[in-house]
Amino acid sequence: MENISENFSEITSERCYFTPQIPKWGIQEVTVNGPQEGNPFTDHWICGCFRGKSETVEAEGFYDGEGRYLVRFMPSFEGEYQFEIRADFLEEVKKGSFQVLPAEAGNHGPVRVANTWHFAYEMERHTIRWEPPAMCGSFRTTPGLRKR
């Protein structure tokens, strides 16, 4: 990540990259450069707190290799979010903000359990129903079926 594209923002001298605008239910990935010595998978920790008008989410990060540590977050609401990134190797808390835009076409949100035997997208426009045939399970999408 030596070259910063126009799609990323950078905070302070210790590199911290993130996307300034993402769609609802997209993935915000904050990248911080850190130590590679020893075993960075177990020797260090990183975490983030993401705050929007309607939600606050804390997320653990992980070491991605080549000195990159990541914290990922999926926003559930549109609007402005602020975040703070902390790690045992950072001298100061990294702070930033980004804008969440409307969901992209075809993105109905995460799938959740609905009515014990069904799965439903967050937007509830489609439900994925499990129907057990004689030998194996199958999944199909049923437009318009809603949670009860």
Q: Are 28 and 73 in contact (CB under 8 A)?
A: yes
Q: Give the span between the Cα atoms of 16 and 82, in whole angstroms.
A: 14
Give the number of C-alpha atoms closer than 13 A to the C-alpha of residue 3, restricted to the C-beta side: 2
How does the average pLDDT of the chain come out, rounded?
A: 79
- The string of pLDDT tens digits covering residues 79-90 is 999 999 999 999
At 3 the pLDDT is 38
Q: Give the span between the Cα atoms of 77 and 127, in whole angstroms.
A: 21
- The string of pLDDT tens digits covering residues 20-32 is 999 999 999 999 9
Per-domain residue ranges of the chain: 9-101, 111-143
pLDDT at residue 144 greater than cutoff 90: no
- The string of pLDDT tens digits covering residues 87-104 is 999 999 999 999 999 988
pLDDT at residue 119 greater than cutoff 90: no
pTM: 0.70
Q: Is 90 exposed, middle or buried (0-12, 13-18, 19+ CB in 10 A)?
A: middle
At 96 the pLDDT is 94
Task: Say which amino acid occupies 112.
Answer: R
Q: 3-state SS of the chain: helix, strand, coil percent to 5?
A: 5, 50, 50
Q: Are 65 and 11 in contact (CB under 8 A)?
A: no
At 2 the pLDDT is 40
Domain 9-101: give its CATH code.
Answer: 2.60.40.10
Residue 55: partners with Cβ closer than 8 Å, 6 or more residues away: 75, 76, 77
At 14 the pLDDT is 59
Q: Which of 13-27, 28-42, 105-119 has the lowest mean pLDDT?
A: 105-119
